[in-house]
A and B are shown apart, each in its own frame.
Chain A
């Protein structure tokens, strides 16, 4: 069976325990403004334009029949609404790159199996992320079935914005959920991610009820979701779940994805956004620890 994958990244260090391979799936129901993988948001091929590779040879211009491009010396600009795929074949410098190809589940699994000695030695495995891996549940299932037959540890990084039946399709094969929580406050959730958080929270609570292994992940952005209003609600919700999670991971916001927005011809929604400062992070961490949680802070730096 085929599915769309943005990337298969080996030697991932921050996507679960041990050395892992992370498979980034294409397609997501959310539109979080700080998303660092914008190319993964749609389950379709995307063209990314890396203008820094341009040498100004103008080979593309010769087939640019509907003025998709402008070239000033080596300075290339492009209209993302127009067809850019045709330039892939003519550019000698790979300025135009296609992502989110369709791939066979068998091939994905085989690639993931290649690092199995490393998984064994480090107690690692394979993590499915993206995008939202649960939006292609049958494809995902075929991949993880194959991996599970070989005894590989499986982690799913999900925002939970799917029907629970999608979880049920793959849950028999899952060892760990890395669950992303964006907001408790439903209004803020809608505002910053484009969806409300009802099913996200109910899915999470069902997983907890079923006693699944869960790591709760929360990105922290300065002035957006690290406020007292939001965290009062979170502490409130969490105090009922002090033994529900293996641990909580606080992820500092970073802007490493910005380059990809530019390559997609999109506006980066979080320009000048800062991560939560160290003192506030430690404050939140301290409070969570006093509630009985094991807390881990992930700084991108």
Chain B
């Protein structure tokens, strides 16, 4: 058991041994492939030829839920499984199949995100490939992609990620309504007047049947169970399963179980990720309160239930192609679970569950759920302090969201204030309204801004592939004539505008296909306003249709423009051509290294230097200016608001995007990562966290309404003592006042500290703070560094 972070709850009365066993099971990460869903979907599709896709999907979903293997995890209080065993990934052939066929024998060999494949599973999956060839979502997208878009992806300027070959996911069901009514009444009130409603009926019937199957299984298991406590638990679980979704959730435990099973079923219907739990403490509070008041629940039992729930979210999985694993490492599902924040009137809505969730995350200490917290000026000090203590344990959770900025961003898009106050993170940092956002708020087409900068400097021709899609200046050559800063920035805007339009085109092609292949009658039945409008989310059924691309590398662009402005245009230290020679050389020769040194000495974003910070702001503004004229596919087809906004929530994609870009004018070396989110380029922020926050505060954060991702690294020594934690809390509170949108704190472990010793040039931002002493970690003698490392490895405070 980890040291307790919360007060007023007695962990010793909970079966911690069992939790430990369950946790170890989830930690083991034996990922495998499961063929059941693929087989059932294929069987069903073979029998529904000629029908509308949504009906086919509904029937296949139903067939699967009624026949797939179900089991109950030995030590768990929560039932529900996505595949035939723990941490197995189902296969979703209707989205894409070619890469599965190609890569099936290499899944087990991957360095990261590997999946073992049983020989029987292998032959079963290969047996269905032929049926799906040419008939998948990916095939449809490829048929419709224009030559220009394809060339742009070969340049590396654009990437079509999940939206081109997978379900979209990124939904937060309207849990309050679903829990308050269940599905039976919805089912009974459906008029089968269209394919959509017929499909919903089929799906919901299957959902109710699925729950009943667990009732039978739990009863059977209880009959054979000898241990009295477990026997009783299984009987309870059986009764729970029997009444699940038939009417309102009748208890806290029922509500928790319902949320979990819904999550599992969403991840059977679609292989999208980021199916999220929304404002978890708010959703469950009425059930918690009622049970506590009636004496049928205690804090300890509630906490135990939550820990089991949190642990179980780690049992689901998703198979991705080899190339995609670079963009999202660690089998991530981004199942966001959020606590805290204001209510619809703007008052703080913290409750007991807010604290219990922090404790549950503390005891879970795994990758899922993706735990996040909303906060504001009046967040209770105790909650903030408890959250800070969790952050200090490492693991980066919770990531923190600033209510003031997030809400303003949504209101500025036209969302009513009371609804905006209910916002959640969907996925990683993608902000939306629970129950009302029907598409991923971030990460439609990925835009590689580092590449666009490079293309600009070569007059539109990609040095790597030789492909050119536009000329930036009149001449035919790859030369770029740098006369003054205004012309330079105008050229940037031209390139950005060109590729943004291409990206939107790509978005629409993917969205058009998704509206067919990602038809999701089950998920859509839980989203407003699908049932009222009679449409799935992708057809225009969701209330708010607000999306954004994934824009990668603004700090690299800003830092580079600053160098060109200062050293080339103003101070004429060298010409652009001389700089390009040094870049092409990847700074290797003596001459190139001298140029690089000058370039590195120019102020970088993240150090609270107004000049370069303003340029990065201008880069953001150049993109924001393009948004009003961009349309989604669903405009006018149902949603109250259809719009593009901006987001810098790009997970780890800054790494593979960087691989496609040569050295850049900011001194970055060829193929190395771009910057993460809106954070400074790694290691270039050498003035400490207050300077980083002040730099980021100068960006138009409230306009990045789908999430402005900031990641900061702290050495353990800066967070350990109670006084240091207090100061960290003050840092968070100041962040609210500065208008910082989001912050995730990585408190580094010994592995990273070791890397800092080996590669100090990447760790300029790492600070050691000791009384009366000034230096960076990397200037320490190896023995001192070793000592710090040894301390952190032993769990002693460093």
The interface of chain A, by Cβ under 8 A from chain B, is 6-7, 9-15, 18-19, 22, 24, 36-37, 50, 52, 57, 59, 91-94, 114-115, 117-118, 120-122, 124, 129, 157, 180, 217, 249, 251, 254-260, 262-263, 298-301
Contacts and interface: CB of A to CB of B under 8 A. Distances in A.
A251 B594 CA distance: 42
A259 B798 CA distance: 19
Given A37-B772, A217-B771, A301-B717, A92 B593 contact: yes
Given A121-B737, A259-B784, A15 B779 contact: no
Contacts of B734: 117-118, 120-122
Contact of B718 (A13, A115, A262, A298): A13
Given A24-B774, A256-B773, A13 B727 contact: yes
Given A114-B694, A121-B734, A14 B596 contact: no
Contacts of B297: none
A19 B781 contact: no
Contacts of A180: 772
B727 A256 contact: no
Interface string B681-704: 000000111110010000000000
Contacts of A129: 772
A114 B695 CA distance: 11
Interface string B758-798: 00100000011111111100011101100110010000111
Given A14-B769, A92-B590, A121-B734, A260 B775 contact: yes
A6 to B, nearest CB: 7
9 contacts: A10-B688, A13-B727, A22-B772, A24-B774, A92-B596, A114-B608, A118-B690, A298-B770, A301-B797
A11 B688 contact: yes
B737 A117 contact: yes
Contact of B769 (A11, A124, A217): A11
B686 to A, nearest CB: 10
B788 A301 contact: yes
Given A14-B772, A120-B734, 12 more contacts: A14-B769, A22-B774, A50-B779, A91-B597, A94-B597, A114-B608, A118-B734, A254-B770, A257-B775, A259-B775, A260-B779, A298-B770
A149 B599 CA distance: 38
Contact of A13 (B597, B769, B780): B769
Contacts of B145: none
Interface string B701-744: 00000000000000001100001101100110110011000000
Contact of B688 (A9, A259, A298): A9
B771 A256 contact: no
Nearest to B694: A114
B726 A122 contact: yes
A233 to B, nearest CB: 23
Contacts of A10: 687-688, 690-691
A126 to B, nearest CB: 12
A155 to B, nearest CB: 11
Q: Which of B590, B770, B779, B784 has the most CB of A within 10 A?
A: B770
Given A18-B727, A117-B734, A301-B787, A11 B767 contact: yes
A19 B774 contact: no
Q: Which of B597, B690, B774, B779 has the most CB of A within 10 A?
A: B774
A195 B608 CA distance: 41
Nearest to A262: B781
A52 B733 contact: no
Nearest to B593: A92
A203 B593 CA distance: 52
Interface string B130-159: 000000000000000000000000000000
B775 A19 contact: no
Nearest to A12: B769
Nearest to B726: A122
B690 A11 contact: yes
A286 to B, nearest CB: 19
A298 B720 CA distance: 12
A93 B771 contact: no
B768 A256 contact: yes
A299 B771 CA distance: 9
A24 B775 CA distance: 11
Given A12-B769, A118-B734, A19 B727 contact: yes
Interface in B579-604: 590, 593-594, 596-597
Given A11-B769, A13-B727, A129-B772, A258 B688 contact: no
A251 B780 CA distance: 19
Q: Which of A57, A117, A262 has the most CB of B within 10 A?
A: A117
Contact of B781 (A117, A157, A258): A258
A263 B796 CA distance: 30
B784 A118 contact: no
A91 B689 CA distance: 30
Contact of A19 (B690, B760, B772, B783): B690
Contact of B770 (A24, A118, A263, A300): A300
A249 B721 CA distance: 14
Contacts of A11: 688-690, 718, 731, 767, 769
Contact of A92 (B594, B687, B771, B784): B594
* The 4 A-B residue pairs with the shortest CB-CB distance in the complex, in nearest-first order: A122-B730, A92-B593, A14-B771, A11-B688
B376 to A, nearest CB: 14
Given A11-B767, A121-B733, A157 B772 contact: yes
Q: Which of A50, A115, A157 has the most CB of B within 10 A?
A: A115
A285 to B, nearest CB: 15
A36 B157 CA distance: 49
A124 B771 CA distance: 15
Contacts of A254: 770, 773, 784
A127 to B, nearest CB: 9
Contacts of A50: 779
A123 to B, nearest CB: 8
A114 B694 CA distance: 8
A255 B772 contact: no
Given A6-B774, A14-B772, A122-B730, A57 B593 contact: yes
Interface in B290-345: none
A180 B772 CA distance: 10
Interface string B510-538: 00000000000000000000000000000
Nearest to A301: B791
B597 A93 contact: yes
B730 A259 contact: no
B779 A298 contact: no
Given A11-B767, A255-B783, A301-B796, A36 B772 contact: yes
Contacts of A120: 734
Nearest to A50: B779
A256 B694 contact: no
